[in-house]
Structure 1
């Protein structure tokens, strides 16, 4: 990677208040289950990624852009940004709108999540809110397509507001990264395909890579690694990314422009310490992109990504248990790593490396 005089991150997009609720099980319709505990914390890709980066490295400059309402949830988000040291001068407070919020349920029986959300102020975010003229950040992290009405629609001759914003960021000298959301595959594909030519990096999960390529990469929660390898190669063909990272419970894959594919297994997290997976994908992205920003080898960036995600699993909230870079890596080494075998389901005649 070439050296850049820029440093730090700018995040943009979703800031929402996660009303985290722990239940013993997810109920069937017309039945009742008890809420065992609840908290209200920051959520959304722009929020989680920003705070995670600051927790990994408190010296790293991080700023953000987004829309919130002038309400109690908005005040919580602003306070959490301030506590993390995130520059929020780009945050817009809309007085007549409710802050985007999510009822985020985690079932203790399975560890699985169910989210119900109200878009609120996020629906009013548009490319006009993104001013890149003064930022000295190096990497722009943008998301989430599918829950921002103005960004999701056509914008001044562009396919959607995401394309317009990514193009403006690159024109201003920023490297661009995109975060996705697990919505219906055809909807996600429609938003993302026009953006692929305007991205420098892309960090997604097994479901999302299948959705944007029209391939079945998961089956009832199980990852088809072979299908992910094929889908990842297709995404690299269609996009401008220098690197594409795909994560799933057993590990991660990274595709580079020269054809190299790196595979790194995930951390063997003890089940007893897991409180919830809410925010784990954001933590993985933060770990990987921090490593990329710092010029680490792709295999080392994947290891940090897994370690950061593993650290985040100890909290029902999205960012509360993420530690420093050293702390996350020490935690991962203490727990150990999963087997490489799951990342090599069949022999392949491809150029690849195993870390």
Structure 2
């Protein structure tokens, strides 16, 4: 019996098996078939409602963040520039997934051609890694603002912020670039059916009739380079931040200073906790039905784009005040 390689990748990892009835003799498919939520096809229209709502909230929320930062000169600073980068990342990531998903739910449009699948796969993994990198940049901003406040404006200049953003973009783009090439090199002679509503790296290479250990090991490497190193850097930053906060002389000063980190911490938790939960469920939830795995994977990808603008809109006073002025038509 051939040993099945253990697979790692950024993004959802879905366990599944295909019946012999789905096998075929093609070597390189021109299209893949996305099943949506396997086993819940009859409820696809109802399932589409919460996902369409989440996508609408993500689009409106992130565009609102971009609009407010652009229109409010007092928000033209490093923290809000990084927030704009996060908003753009969330918009691209959610848009690379949800429209095709809704077309499956509403119109049963399950086919996706090979090149489109590779493009979607690249965008999902690239912008997931980019989001993690932006959280690191935000942690750096909070570290400088709290541990070295007098030099914050001279250290994090607009030029430095732009270079950090470019570095995060290049890192995620280069790390995600091998994924479509790895997918393209394998022969596909079993099936072209992907039991989920989008193309992800491991979900596609599992269909290959070849030894995919290279893909598995590269996924592990990216997982360590992105989520592992980013989490370590964020933890180290907040260790220094907490030391600086606890050294402040009064309780009010400590509470006020820590309050400037709450939005960032909440956004980090909204990104990493679903990832941890999904990883644990994947490893220890073999008896969990496939449709539940797929639903959780979709929520895992859509939750940060939905929650990030809500978190920053509610917790950031400058953004909240600007929103209130917009809704009450009180200009300043």
Q: TM-score, normalised to structure 2's length? A: 0.26
Q: Which has the higher helix share?
A: 2
Higher strand share: 1
Bigger radius of gyration among the two: 2
TM-score (norm 1): 0.24
